[in-house]
Amino acid sequence: MKRLLLVDSNATQREQLGTALVRQGWHVVAVGDGNAALQQLQQQAFEAVISEIELGGDVDGLAICRRAEETHPDLPVILLNPSANLMLALAALRARAADCLVPPFDASALQSALTRVIADAKLQATVRKLRSPPANAPQSTDLLGRSPAITAVYDVLDRVGATPSSVLLTGESGTGKEVVARALAARSARKDGPFVAINCAAMPANLLESELFGHTKGAFTDARTNKTGLFVRANGGTLLLDEVGDMPIEIQPKLLRALQDRRVRPVGGETEIPFDARIIAATNRDLEAAVAARTFREDLYFRLAVITIDLPPLRTRGDDVLLLAQHFVLQFAAQAQKAVKGLSPQAAQKLASYTWPGNVRELRNCIERAVALTRFDHVTAADLPERVRKHKTHYQLLPSEDPKDLVTMDEIEKRYILRVLKAVGGSRTEAARILGLDRKTLYRKLERYGVASGATPP
């Protein structure tokens, strides 16, 4: 049974309030003065405290609140202000009271307040417990976490970091693929070598070829000097091919040959140049679907995906959202030279319930904005973007109970499959895993629904 400490100097009020709380399922320990309340806090564990502010004697409700903050930081204290004194209400807030209520109020209102402050206290406790990442976590805020999904990534990093094998990083945009690539480079025997990255989707085929392999003077109109390509510049280190799933199809055979031979020929050149760099590729696309659609070479896929690390979306990482948010708060507060210490319970609740389609990148931007806007020493819900504050999760598959609106089982299956596919950002592999289908079966169903390969449902 839930235990609650009730502190009220008026015996009649104490008995009435205690009886109402017992009816609501609480085990109530009721005392009449502040000293007795402090003694009970030393002897027993409680889920909440309700106390008058003005108790008489040398220990009032404010003192109880401050003592609870020092010795039981996860214990919410509700203070009662029978005189409706504004100065006392402000003092209660400064003493870190979870709430300040003005009697009279009914039992249901008090129960609602208790439910809210206990939930808020649990969120705050979660934030505090999550502040220390696992020992093997990469030294980057963007990849902190304790969830099973992210600790599995840490484990793979430890096992493959020192190997020279090519690695393919998959996952939605914003999940931290470049962070993982740098963590792999830092764990390898090439950690003192260069780390070179290129976005394969950011330039047309002819420029991408020149960037990767280099060119000789006069190879094309603007080639006024020789240029060393990124493969050679990454010699002795790591080359990250970001957004490799968007690489033009005409470049893919040349990339495959370079990976097989470990040599490149500059555009316009006749001599091949050897290179010694570890190759890491990253993509937010489903490359297996791209192979099936013939927009990505199968032999190149297997050459890149010697080891595959799939980065989980933030919405699947549970309390990692609050851990990351807390770290971002401290980081941006230090940069802005503001005394912002953490998250209010209401802000934490909003952050924890949002689905984060932009993943860690979106969370980072959200917290940077909140720290810049907040006027308090904690980020409040009002400081968060409107999309986070007003987010609601909708799970309804059927529009109504009206018989004319009801649909077939096939239609329900279609709606659910498309909703899962949208939730995972269009990843056929992840959707198939969640749905318990093999990929070929899922591809056939999506083709029947008219969803093009690589597309995300609207």
* pLDDT band at residue 453 using 50, 70 and 90 as cut-offs: low
Q: What is the pLDDT of residue 335?
A: 92
Q: How sure is the predictor about 458, in pLDDT bands with cuts at 50, 70 and 90?
A: low
- Pairwise CA distance, residues 246 & 285, whole Å: 8
Rounded to whole angstroms, how far apart are CA atoms 374 and 367? Answer: 10
Mean of per-residue pLDDT scores for the chain: 85
Average pLDDT for 156-183: 91
Q: Where are the beta strands (DSSP E) in 171-237?
A: 195-199, 214-215, 227-228
**pTM for this one?**
0.64
pLDDT of 81 above 90: no
Question: What's residue 403's pLDDT?
Answer: 54
Higher pLDDT pick, 137 / 299: 299
Distance between CA atoms of 195 and 322, rounded to whole angstroms?
31
Q: Report whether 238 contacts 184 (CB < 8 A).
A: yes
Q: What is the pLDDT of residue 127?
A: 64
| Strands 278-283 vs 342-343: parallel, antiparallel or unpaired | unpaired
- Ranked by mean pLDDT, the top range of 210-219, 369-378, 393-402 is 369-378
Look at residues 34, 46, 41, 49 and name the one whose alpha carbon lies nearest to residue 99: 49
Band of pLDDT at residue 456, cut at 50, 70 and 90: low
CB distance 35 to 71 below 8 Å: no
With vertex at residue 376, the alpha carbon angle to CA 372 and CA 378, rounded to the nearest 5 degrees, is 85
DSSP 83-149: T--HHHHHHHHHTT-SEEE-S---HHHHHHHHHHHHHHHHHHHHHHHTTS--TTS-S-GGG---SHH
**pLDDT band with cut points at 50, 70 and 90 for residue 130:** low
pLDDT of 73 over the 60 cut: yes
CA angle, residues 301, 447, 431, in degrees to nearest 5: 60
pLDDT at 374 (0 to 100):
94
Dihedral in degrees, nearest 10, Cα atoms 242, 248, 249, 254: -70
Cα(40)–Cα(31) distance, rounded to whole angstroms?
Answer: 9
**Spatial CB neighbours of 344, under 8 Å, sequence gap ≥ 6:** 376, 378, 379, 380, 381
DSSP symbols for 268-293: T-SS-EE---EEEEEESS-HHHHHHT
Residue 134 has pLDDT above 60, yes or no: no
Taking 70 as the threshold, does the pLDDT of residue 133 lie above it? no
Average pLDDT over residues 200-204: 86
Least confident segment among 89-98, 143-152, 280-289, 422-431: 422-431
The confidence score (pLDDT) of residue 397 equals 47
3-state helix, strand, coil in the chain (%, to 5): 50, 15, 40
Residues in the chain: 458
Cβ neighbours of residue 104 under 8 Å, at least 6 residues apart?
none
Lowest mean pLDDT among 256-270, 292-306, 401-415, 439-453: 401-415
Confidence of residue 263 (pLDDT cuts 50, 70, 90): very high
Closest CA to 97 of 63, 122, 57, 135: 63
- Measuring CA to CA, how many Å separate 6 from each of 10, 15, 29, 84, 291? 11, 10, 6, 19, 66
Query: What are the pLDDT digits (tens) for 408-431?
Result: 667 777 877 887 887 777 778 878
Instruction: Say which residue, 457 or 75, is predicted with more confidence.
Output: 75
Per the structure block, which two tokens stand in for 218?
A: 């006069």
Mean pLDDT of 63-82: 88
Section 121-132 average pLDDT: 66
Mean pLDDT confidence for 183-210:
90
Instruction: Say what the pLDDT of residue 395 is.
Output: 46
